[in-house]
Amino acid sequence: MSADSNGGGNVSVPLRILLNSIQCVRDRVRDGESNESDGAFNLSNFWDTLNQAVKAVSQEATKLSLAFSKPPLPSQQDTEKLADSILKSVLTLSTVYYWLPKSVSGISLRRQVRDATVDVLEGVAQLVEVILSSPLQSLTQEQLTSTGGVWSACDQFAQLPQDNKAAVLVVLSDQIGVVKDAIEEVEQALSNAHDPFSDVLDDDQDGEEPRENQDTYWSEKDRSVIAPCQGLMKASAACIRKLLAAVKANGNFSTPENVAQLDDLADISKEISPGFWYRCLFKHHLVHVQQDEPLFVVPVSDTDVHPVRMLSPQTSEVKQSDKPLQNHDICKKQGHESARRRQRPL
């Protein structure tokens, strides 16, 4: 017998109301905007309050799981109290999240806090769904897994960056890992004797004719394209590493302008997509850009005003530029407007 099929106390009604409420809160957190601060915002107090709210959600989820871990079922009145208590903790968590203003804290930080908050809410919703559908003769493995999922989602708050500089460093580190994985995949494909794209169906090639000569997987034309692509990918990884080192040494988040510049740098790094280079391999051509147009611009010194290196799309070489650029100039070079002059979605 499950909570959903129990007819005596009809305990499924408050649980289903709770589930719908949690899902609504989750959707609002995922898609909503924060309240802009009309006064001094204390980031340290925010983290203290947020961690307390997360701890409360974890405790309430544990109580709910234990209450439905073995018969007898809680009464409808007790179930309503449990549901009210866990909903209160969920609403408190979402409210505290909304305290974080993106103009002051930064978009990169707020995105990571948002994602962590959504993970907690999704975990609690999944736990309620499992309780509604699982038999109650014993504590099922699915319920144990769901409860552990809530705990894990709550624990990740301790690993979150505490300011926008740290959040941007996380983004840059992730992008380095993505590009590194792409480089390794191409190198592995080159070293394999079998077709490196054998897992890609001919139907997925956007209406192109199926590849012929399956016995010859790497033509001379293929290899002439692969080498420059590898060079661009490796240069991209080097550029992001330089950018990460510069942000780590001199990143500043003391003013909204500094925070916006850090966010712009994080957004620029995300534009390096390994999938783009794979498309180049399939289409047998390189990037169509102007001869003198830089593909990427990064700082190469640890000063606020610094020379930059420009990656040549034709030769994959990193060229030195004598013109000093500041962080916001780098953003403009990539076609980005300053974040403080436009609305930026999360």
- Domains along the chain? 12-159 (1.20.1420.10), 165-341 (1.20.1410)
53 and 29 in contact (C-beta within 8 Å)?
no
Give the closest residue to 43 by CA, choosing from 254, 252, 344, 273. Answer: 254
206 and 282 in contact (C-beta within 8 Å)?
no
The model's confidence at residue 220, banded by pLDDT at 50, 70 and 90, is confident
258-315 pLDDT tens trace: 999 999 999 888 877 555 555 554 443 333 333 344 443 333 333 333 333 334 334 4
Ramachandran sector of residue 10 (left: φ over 0; alpha: ψ -120 to 50; beta: rest): left
User: What is the Cα–Cα distance from 261 to 264, expressed in whole angstroms?
Assistant: 5
321-340 pLDDT tens trace: 444 434 444 344 444 443 33
| DSSP H or E run through 306 | strand 306-311
296 and 239 in contact (C-beta within 8 Å)?
yes
Integer Rg of the chain from CA: 26
Average pLDDT, the chain: 75
175 and 240 in contact (C-beta within 8 Å)?
yes
User: What is the Cα–Cα distance from 7 to 163, expressed in whole angstroms?
Assistant: 50
Q: What angle do CA 25, 31, 33 make, to 5 degrees?
A: 95
